[in-house]
Amino acid sequence: MVKKILFLYTGGTIGMKPSETSAGALAPAAGYLPRMLQEMPELQSADTSFELIEYEPLLDSSDMTPAAWVKIATDIEKNYAAYDGFVVLHGTDTLAYTSSALSFFVEGVRKPIVVTGSQLPFGVPRSDARNNIVTAFQVAADMPPELAQVCVVFGSRILRGNRATKISASAYDAFDSPRFPYLGTVGIDINYNSRLPIATPAAELRVQTTPPPNESIAVVRLFPGFSEQIILSLCTNPHLKGIVLEAYGSGNGPSRDIEFLESIRSAREQGVVVVVVAQPMQGKVDFGQYAAGSVLGQAGAINGKDLTTEAALTKLYYLISLGLGPAEIEAEMMRLIVGEMQS
């Protein structure tokens, strides 16, 4: 039986060419990458075929929005029955946000959805585009069924989509999942870690097709001298529903700053959910470890455990898009949905 793979080409460096109108700066080039893929012998196989949807317009990944995530999710839903796997070609800057978002917005996945891109455009000397495309294609076709999920394939790594984060703007292994093991590694062979299936996949495919408002979430990073006015100012936006607070260490904040803690309480009283994540790459939130962390919990903030910022943000967007109230969102943020955090 021939396996069919669908490429969803959204844009990004992988298909860019020097622009004639922007002094040679790289820009998306419609039609270019689809032609190149058709000419790749590595994608021509007796037992695997592919088709491609090119988005219009092609987006630099810095232009990605929640509405764009919903479009990708909807296209997967429309074509889910006809294909055995999917490859999303994407720019690297916001790739981890999109892979995290798809893990929530496309529930009940039982086929691989592989997100990849490249550090250098296709056809440029020493570009990683060709290898990443070929590997993503093979993973989409051959990933063991028990591992099927949204994942990132980049360089030598296969990562759970909602555990990935970008760590380098120049290395070919540009993404990592410092808080979770790799789903697999890529060398001469592709080796999968079969011990990392999604624990409780939904019974059937369900796609959330209502994009949340862009202004419904803010991400705030704590720093020495942080003012409570930042939180209070954000809360003057009537559309704000959630704040991802990047705290120190294991979820610590300024425990002696009464005004800061009151701003967290005030946000919660206004119906704004505050989720605390850890700034260190290998950190996780533990409100019980230090008094400076416990005060955030006492002020009403939610323990984000080992969620990445990307996963916390996209999970919040997903829950808001469902139309849930603040108490329901708080409860769901602490519940494991699709392998995004420790249970």
The answer to whether residues 92 and 12 touch, using CB atoms and an 8 Å cutoff, is yes
Buried b (16+ CB within 10 A) or exposed e, 205-231: bebbeebbeeebbbbeebeeebebeeb
Q: Tell me how crowded residue 4 is: count the other CB atoms within 10 A of its CB.
A: 16
Point out the catalytic residue in the list 10, 13, 94, 309.
13
42: left (phi > 0), else alpha (psi -120 to 50), else beta?
Answer: alpha
Residues in the chain: 343
Look up 135 and say whether it is catalytic.
Answer: no
Beta strands in 59-198 (DSSP E): 85-89, 106-107, 113-116, 150-154, 157-160, 165-166, 175-176, 184-186, 190-192
Q: Tell me how crowded residue 24 is: count the other CB atoms within 10 A of its CB.
A: 10
The answer to whether residues 150 and 69 touch, using CB atoms and an 8 Å cutoff, is no
Q: Tell me how crowded residue 319 is: count the other CB atoms within 10 A of its CB.
A: 24
Q: Supply φ then ψ for residue 101, to 5 degrees.
A: -60, -45
Q: Give the count of alpha carbons within 13 A of 236, CB side only.
A: 5
Longest pairwise C-alpha distance within the chain: 67
Q: Which residues are catalytic?
A: 13
